[in-house]
Structure 1
């Protein structure tokens, strides 16, 4: 199959870095990029020899976006990042809920629909490669082999490239009646989850699907027993698989690890053998240099860089939860590989890039810092390096044809100055209108073939409402379930009070 794709702007790779081609073209042959160059020249050279010509017009064609902390549920962040009450806190299981009987809020069919909803959202926002993250708060524990087998099936049907492994943990954050948070342990669940994760690796190997790669995905580092983290490192080395772990993400994490294990989160990762180039750390915010830790660089960045560890920066989530990675340029200058993640709703890396650039400029107090190029490279080349996939993240001959195009012809975008600056300053991921993974078209004209988005939206809203209502029995601040629907309303107050009676008619 030969496909010629032309666009007014193409973000190509010249062997040393990204470059912009005006009136560019990309020739895709059997899933790989065969040629990149002038639209006129390639169209003339291959006249009559291509099976399809995709003319994108006033668009930016660039490498497919790589999201390594990709939203795979519906309610992540929407419900617990808005309250301005002094006593507000993250939604947590109550200690009583942990002790009295956990259960899945959704049935298997609803969980599958939720995943299809989430992966469709990723595709519609221009994501072509993903490593998903889902909240476990609405599950009986963490993810299972069958959960991720379902994600693999959906990703393959949609045509997305997915790096998958079920989450596993030995403990969970719970809050007592006073709101104090601790970790409640269930070691049998931890061992069972790890066994499920290893079984999933075997399942992926048997699938032999080029779009699906197995990884190990332990939960937040403070909720996984040290022996399980060490076993994760051993299996990663033996099987040559990647590990993504959430670490260095909060001061509470740091305090728990120092109290329980006598070391810092970095020290723990080193001790269990997870400081190596197969490890990808989600967030990596609270290093020694952070102003709320030591406030100076005492070697954490150098240790990450020397080990070849990659990090996943999630600017939108960091901003909304107010745990801020300080000055991304310091990580890059130290040689740390940085990739990007969405981690929460909306799964929009364009908005994430914009948030990251703005934050970096504010932190530096210098408009010349927080370069847009650094963030675009993190969403493409940085993700590819983290995945050990040099064939991804670039438009160059020999690379895999994972591509996305963003429309630049909407009046609301304003005049096109530089295609990337225009997209990030005034656009969003919703401007994606074409994508291709491994040479297969995933999205065309802003639609994904075979997906009924209206039905998916309606069912997604129903599932969201069910998840929201279930917090009445799980969160430590909620009244008992017998209190009825009002309890959920107290957990999630509206921006303005909802009128209990009809608003009186107002006249002049």
Structure 2
């Protein structure tokens, strides 16, 4: 690789910058195309050329060698905290492991298990990890189980600043809800609601978007984030969709994602989440809905009819025994699918492989889906879900949001087609460089003004501190040693 000395982390290089590599993934009018030894030129945060040869003058040239220059990846449900869902992967059932608040905890009064400083720090750390994985656009997601209720404006003001400092394009606002599930007895969960908290949370989110949208040179964008369909009242969702229209922003809400949700929706409303939303005129192209693993054929047809986008997180779903049924079937219906990470590790390439495998197993066909279909979802599909045509592609006029993936990694040998190689054998560890809005946000594992390796030690301490509080919100409040057991007995 040849790298100019004037290329600095956290800075947008002045003048025209030409990049080349063994492969360039350019946009060719109606989709991506591979350009061998192609050239990409960016200036003032935008792509001005993506193709075979650029004839104009440039200020610098970068040759990444054995690599793919790609549009930056788009994460519609991007992990933005220190993931606690990994704790229940091998510790079941989830209701007994702090995933549902017991009545005793609710009556004592839920509390914030992190300090404001810890909440702000984990956003910055998580955003750094996304960049390390080649993700240039993110819609953050975090757990509410360790929160007093919803997310706060203060932590999202800090998150907006972290995105601006690190150089990550984000779509966000504090998550809110008007209800939650309470554990009354082993396996018995019932919904509880507090409408005023939901309306207050929406007001906070609207105020945040009005203040923050467009900051940091357009890196910060508004998105409303009601928590889950079963934790929101009809009034709250009606106000949410009205606000999205007024603000001209997207709405992300988890829906059709689990058995408990489906049972709760039928108990409360006599219909699935998508059907209930459709009955009240609340489905539209503004809605991004993770994960659709429990969507019926009727639900999926409603998504297609109303142009709802699915945020597909195959890794977290498959780890818990679920899958989208299926990626190929949804595409045949005309549903737009974007990709998401949702959980640790926030590795989009790993999710693309899991999505490929899960679809082929669901369809029992090796040709049901191809690597490029998943890659399209992580770029073009994500951009469409967000209502943007200037990201997710490398074409003149598009934002210079770029990820460079190494193809010479010995663990990823042999190289075939570059997209197939990355999907079948790649991981975020082969992400070599990331540019967002033309600014160098990551290079060789280094971030602008943030030591991710040193921060990891603080993250681990913070995570362990949270685990120590799990007995407070677990059924009958057993010690941590009983909540989370080791994989094998520990010899002492």
Considering the TM-score relative to the shorter chain, is it more than 0.5?
A: yes
Instruction: Determine the C-alpha separation between the residues in 2 that align with 1:463 and 1:432.
Output: 27
- Kept in 2, the 8 Å contact 1:73–1:135? The answer is yes
Q: Deviations over 1:25-64 (max 9, x none)?
A: 10001111111223xx33xx24xx3233222111111110
The residue matched to 1:131 in structure 2 has which SS?
Answer: strand
The residue matched to 1:120 in structure 2 has which SS?
Answer: helix
Instruction: Determine the C-alpha separation between the residues in 2 that align with 1:288 and 1:239.
Output: 31
Matched, 1:287 2:295: yes
Instruction: Determine the C-alpha separation between the residues in 1 that align with 2:225 and 2:399.
Output: 25
Partner of 2:100: 92
Partner of 1:404: 403
Q: How do 1:387-426 residues align onto structure 2 when only pairs under 5 Å count?
A: 387-426=386-425
Partner of 1:136: 144
Instruction: Determine the C-alpha separation between the residues in 1 that align with 2:259 and 2:293.
Output: 10
Instruction: Determine the C-alpha separation between the residues in 2 that align with 1:300 and 1:348.
Output: 29
Q: Deviations over 1:335-376 (max 9, x none)?
A: 000001101001011000000101111111111112111110
Taking a change above 3 Å as real, the CA distance of residues 88 and 178 of structure 1, as seen in their structure-2 partners, is: closer
Matched, 1:490 2:478: no
Matched, 1:103 2:111: yes
Instruction: Determine the C-alpha separation between the residues in 2 that align with 1:111 and 1:67.
Output: 20
Matched, 1:380 2:383: no
TM-score of the two chains, using structure 2 as the length reference: 0.94
**C-alpha displacement at 1:208, in angstroms?**
6.9
**C-alpha displacement at 1:473, in angstroms?**
0.8
Q: How do 1:98-497 residues align onto structure 2 when only pairs under 5 Å count?
A: 98-205=106-213, 207=215, 209-289=217-297, 299-476=298-475, 478-479=477-478, 487-497=479-489
The residue matched to 1:356 in structure 2 has which SS?
Answer: helix
Extract structure 1 runs of 4+ deviating beyond 6 A.
85-90
- Kept in 2, the 8 Å contact 1:179–1:476? The answer is no
Q: Deviations over 1:258-283 (max 9, x none)?
A: 11123221222123432111111111
Partner of 1:296: none
Instruction: Determine the C-alpha separation between the residues in 2 that align with 1:224 and 1:3.
Output: 48
**C-alpha displacement at 1:153, in angstroms?**
0.7
- Kept in 1, the 8 Å contact 2:25–2:71? The answer is yes
Taking a change above 3 Å as real, the CA distance of residues 80 and 149 of structure 1, as seen in their structure-2 partners, is: same
Matched, 1:14 2:6: no
Q: Which runs of 5+ in 1 are unaligned?
A: 290-298, 480-486, 502-508
Instruction: Determine the C-alpha separation between the residues in 2 that align with 1:242 and 1:128.
Output: 18
- Kept in 1, the 8 Å contact 2:274–2:302? The answer is no
**C-alpha displacement at 1:113, in angstroms?**
1.1
Q: Deviations over 1:418-477 (max 9, x none)?
A: 111112222201110101111111112231122112320110001110111111111225
The residue matched to 2:447 in structure 1 has which SS?
Answer: coil
Instruction: Determine the C-alpha separation between the residues in 1 that align with 2:61 and 2:173.
Output: 37
Instruction: Determine the C-alpha separation between the residues in 2 that align with 1:212 and 1:288.
Output: 35
**Deviation larger for 342-351 or 228-237:** 228-237
- Kept in 2, the 8 Å contact 1:433–1:447? The answer is no
- Kept in 2, the 8 Å contact 1:477–1:491? The answer is no
Q: Deviations over 1:89-127 (max 9, x none)?
A: 672211111111111111111111111111111111111
Instruction: Determine the C-alpha separation between the residues in 1 that align with 2:214 and 2:431.
Output: 34
Match of 2:51 among 37, 52, 59: 37
**C-alpha displacement at 1:180, in angstroms?**
1.2
The structure with the larger Rg is: 1
Q: Which runs of 5+ in 2 are unaligned?
A: 1-14
- Kept in 2, the 8 Å contact 1:177–1:477? The answer is no
**C-alpha displacement at 1:85, in angstroms?**
7.0
